[in-house]
Amino acid sequence: MNRLKKGPYNPILLLIMMPIGVMGLVVYKNTIIIETGILGMLGNLIYELHGTRNKEWRYSPASLYMIAGRLPIEVILSYLFTGMAVATYIFFRLGI
């Protein structure tokens, strides 16, 4: 099986989703937005730690902080803000 090596994490997703998620939290003032972000973050954390532990892929250590020495914190924060942005979009489309 080929091992996938991921290079330095690209923060584009984080930079796009962070303002959307934070603005949604400020505008709608609903805890479901942060809860959805936390669920996305925890699901991705488990998946990524499992994959890096089994050496299915690895990240290069060019990060501010590495979780368990193998996962960049930026990956987890991206999924937190992506979950928040998805919840914001749903609230926007529902007209709440």
Q: Tell me: the pLDDT tens digits for 11-67?
A: 788 888 999 999 999 999 999 999 999 999 999 999 999 998 998 888 877 777 888
Examine the pLDDT at 87 and tell me if it is beyond 90.
yes
| CA-atom Rg of the chain in angstroms | 15
Domain span at 54 = 11-94
As a whole number, mean pLDDT of residues 72-83 equals 90
Q: Is position 1 within any domain? A: no
Q: Is position 27 within any domain? A: yes
To 10 degrees, the CA torsion angle through 38, 89, 17, 55?
50
Q: Is position 48 within any domain? A: yes
Question: How many folded domains does the chain comprise?
Answer: 1
Q: Is position 74 within any domain? A: yes
Examine the pLDDT at 75 and tell me if it is beyond 70.
yes
In whole angstroms, give the CA distance from residue 31 to residue 25.
8
**For residue 26, what are the contacts with CB-CB under 8 A and spacing of at least 6?**
none
Examine the pLDDT at 80 and tell me if it is beyond 80.
yes
Helix/strand/coil for 11: coil
Output the CA–CA distances (angstroms, integers) from residue 68 to 13, 26, 40, 50, in the order listed. Answer: 22, 32, 19, 11
**pLDDT score at 59:** 82
Q: Is position 5 within any domain? A: no
Residue that wins the pLDDT comparison between 32 and 9: 32
Q: Is position 4 within any domain? A: no
As a whole number, mean pLDDT of residues 68-92 equals 91
**pLDDT score at 5:** 57
Q: Is position 62 within any domain? A: yes
As a whole number, mean pLDDT of residues 89-94 equals 91
Q: Is position 6 within any domain? A: no
